[in-house]
Amino acid sequence: MAEKIAVVTGSNKGIGYAIVKGLCERFQGKVYLTARDVTRGNEAVQKLNDLGFQPLFHQLDINDQTSIDKFKEHITKEHGGIDILVNNAAIAFKQDAKEPFGQQAEETIAVNYFSLLRVCNSLIPILKQNGRVVNVSSSAGHLSRIPSEDLRQKLGDKSLPIDLLSALMKKFVSDAKAGKHIERGWGNSAYVVSKVGCSALSFIQQRMLDNEKPCRNISVNAVHPGYVDTDMTSHKGHLTIEEGASAPLHLALDDHGLKEKYVWHDKTVIDWYGETPAIY
């Protein structure tokens, strides 16, 4: 039996770190903690070593295709593939950010959507039979957070291919740069658009994987981890990072049969196309 491998992106701190910790506790295999910064990644691994866990570290900058290629090459050479991929890495501008909104939109979509897509395009092909992909979305990633009904219909179209979803993400950026994002129905949050893109991408990926031949029985789900006390929330969140890791770990490890679902932090399945759920 080949050893099982789990990978968590952006996992040197916050929810990603807690997901690695939870995997080390429960997963019968090797767990990769990855980070853009090697020093911070190694420091996180040392913290987990001090707790008695033995995660592996590899540098991974999701914004850099060369970094992704090196990681994929390492995984393929050393392990032949992966069993669990948790896409956690993301950014968010603070409410008091001074950067123009067009710049915020461009950078947020670049990381939270296009870099996510880049990682998935590289690593989903090396997922093993019965592999699992967990895309960490947000309450902001619910379809109802997009004001325009027309845009909601386009983003929620179950025949939407990835290239057209990517075109919509680019359209938001161009509208934001032109100062027309509100009048064109996107709303006033680049983070919302990026995480709706993350959720929509998850469902498209599942439909594509269901149609591959031979089918590897891979599951892809999007998850809202909750309002967690992290740097990203300026430590305003009321959940601990371990509580934030609970639903992603449920999707990665438990026997639930879920595919193409949007899962809340309490592990309940939420209708992504329906009414806005309770905010957190």
User: Residues 217-239: pLDDT tens digits?
Assistant: 999 999 999 988 787 777 787 78
Whether 258 and 219 have beta carbons less than 8 Å apart is answered as yes
Q: Which of 155, 220, 161 is nearest to 193 (CA)?
A: 155
Q: What is the mean pLDDT of residues 157-171?
A: 98
Residue 1: pLDDT over 80 = no
Residue 222 CA to residue 260 CA, distance in Å, equals 8
Whether 225 and 136 have beta carbons less than 8 Å apart is answered as yes
Give every CB contact of residue 51 below 8 A, 6+ residues apart in sequence. 21
Residue 111 CA to residue 187 CA, distance in Å, equals 19
Phi, psi of 14 (to 5 degrees): 60, -145
Q: What is the pLDDT of residues 187-225, one digit of tens each?
A: 999 999 999 999 999 999 999 999 999 999 999 999 999
User: One-letter amino acid identity for 191?
Assistant: Y
DSSP-based helix, strand, coil % in the chain, nearest 5: 45, 15, 40
Q: What is the mean pLDDT of residues 147-160?
A: 98
Residue 223 CA to residue 90 CA, distance in Å, equals 14
Q: Which of 224, 220, 223, 225 is nearest to 202 (CA)?
A: 220
Largest CA distance in the chain: 56
Query: Considering the chain, what is the average pLDDT of its residues?
Result: 96
Q: What is the pLDDT of residues 74-109, one digit of tens each?
A: 999 999 999 999 999 999 999 889 999 999 999 999
Q: At what angle do helices 190-210 and 101-109 cross, to 10 degrees?
A: 20
| pLDDT at position 64 | 98
Q: What is the pLDDT of residues 29-84, one digit of tens each?
A: 999 999 999 999 999 999 999 999 999 999 999 999 999 999 999 999 999 999 99
Q: What is the pLDDT of residues 106-142, one digit of tens each?
A: 999 999 999 999 999 999 999 999 999 999 999 999 9
Q: What is the mean pLDDT of residues 233-260?
A: 92
Q: Please pick, among 17, 32, 113, 191, the residue that the annotation labels catalytic.
A: 191
For the question of residue 191 being annotated catalytic, the response is yes
Q: Which domains does the chain have, with CATH numbers?
A: 5-99+112-139+197-270 (3.40.50.720)
| pLDDT at position 280 | 65
Mind spelling out the 3-state secondary structure of 150-216? HHHHHHCCCCCCHHHHHHHHHHHHHHHHCCCCCCCCCCCCHHHHHHHHHHHHHHHHHHHHHCCCCCC
The percent of residues above 90 in pLDDT, for the chain, comes to 91
Residue 240: pLDDT over 80 = yes
